[in-house]
Amino acid sequence: ARALNPRKVLLRADLAVDMTAFQPWEQVCCQGVLEPEEHGVQEKLAQGESYLLSAVQEKPFTFSDQVRLSAPAGERVQLLSCRALPLCGESKLIGTKLIFKGTLELQLLLQEAGGALTACRESMPFSQVMEVPGVGEGGDCRLAVELTQLSWEEAGEDGRALELTADLLAQAQVWSRRPVSLLQDLYSTGFQTQVEREEVSLWQLLELSSRAQNVRELFETGALPRSVVDSWVSLGEVRRSREGEQLVLEGEVRAAVLYLDEEEAPQVFQKDLTVACRLDAPAGALCRCRMIAPGEVFAAPAAGGVEVRFAVDFQCLVLEEKKLTAVCAASLGEPRSRGEGSQPSVVLRLAEPGEGLWELAKCYGTTTQKILQANQLEEGALPAGRMLLIPSVR
């Protein structure tokens, strides 16, 4: 902003758009064989869990409240600027309803009748209910509330009250843990079997947290300011990089201070900062992060300038992809021979290193239960160094 003359001010602004698009996605995975007993099909199932985005919902809403301005009795004040930051305090899923509460934090810059500038903070609480069908009550909700419009008008006759109306947009993401059953392998005791496999991705939750980073910075203005009137921060992009096993998040922050110099003239000092946050995350992990500055920005005159202190929260969701091999198709071939020719009806052998009960049964076209019965074993690991009887299926 720059004054061109007493009646005109030139304003320049950079518009940043942060956009995320979602679409339904379906992953088909085989969970078993229909009527496996008909052809003696043996199945090896794996039980797992995947952390998935199960719902995305938005709700626009409007609310109004009256704010009383701080001013001496009988004096009117002029509102020069109003900054508003919506903060969500809590959210809870009950059935298909998401109940959330928060506040709209207002930072007002006022000019008194004598010309003095003062800043004050006010809070406007809100609570809303959003319909989120089909997710249940066990999900984790990530909720953001964005301000889309703010307007105000004088209320009362003394000029010290404002009626503020805020238009907001609540954006909810509900993440859920979903159990997954996968068919990892199969074979038939009666027929030769051809099996096709594919990789299936399951996502594991590594971290869901809010990490606060405290910032303390000295703005060198050259001369000692007489007083600080107002201070604020604007948040920009969050960049990601990697250092070994750590994920490094770097957020762009622009801090600004409005102060009075030695001649009581208002001056503005701005400074671009980078705020960093480190997470322990393996290579390939997926990180979703948003940055907020929820608290007050403190600023006070210091030697050679203004000392500024504020906090930035990195709200992080970190996921790790786990790939499992699963059966996607299978077909039956020629019948197996049973005790004919070179194929014995009973085999006596040692289990090789890394070979389990399933591998032995599959190799000889029998069942794991028959091997356990023939050797009088319980479910579990095979005994090391013991010869095993492996009967065929007749």
- What is the predicted pLDDT for the residue at 71? 64
DSSP string covering 285-312, please? Answer: -EEEEEEE--S--EEEEETTEEEEEEEE
Q: Mean pLDDT check: name the lowest of 229-233, 315-319, 347-351, 356-360.
A: 347-351
**How many CB atoms sit inside 10 A of residue 357's CB?**
19
Averaged pLDDT of the chain: 90
**325-377 tens-digit pLDDT:** 999 999 999 998 765 545 567 888 888 888 889 999 998 889 999 999 999 88
71 or 191, greater pLDDT: 191
- What is the predicted pLDDT for the residue at 344? 64
The rounded distance, in Å, linking the Cα atoms of 32 and 178 is: 18
Residues pairing with 329 in the sheet? 196
Confidence of residue 147 (pLDDT cuts 50, 70, 90): very high
Contact 358, 368 (CB under 8 A): yes
Strand bridging mode 298-302 / 266-280: unpaired
Which H or E element spans position 369? helix 368-374
72 or 370, greater pLDDT: 370
Q: Mean pLDDT check: name the lowest of 25-29, 237-241, 294-298, 320-324.
A: 25-29
Q: What percent of the chain is predicted at pLDDT more than 90?
A: 62
**170-228 tens-digit pLDDT:** 999 999 999 999 999 999 999 999 999 999 999 999 999 999 999 999 999 887 889 99
First to last CA, the chain: 90
The rounded distance, in Å, linking the Cα atoms of 217 and 270 is: 12
Contact 327, 186 (CB under 8 A): yes
- What is the predicted pLDDT for the residue at 394? 61
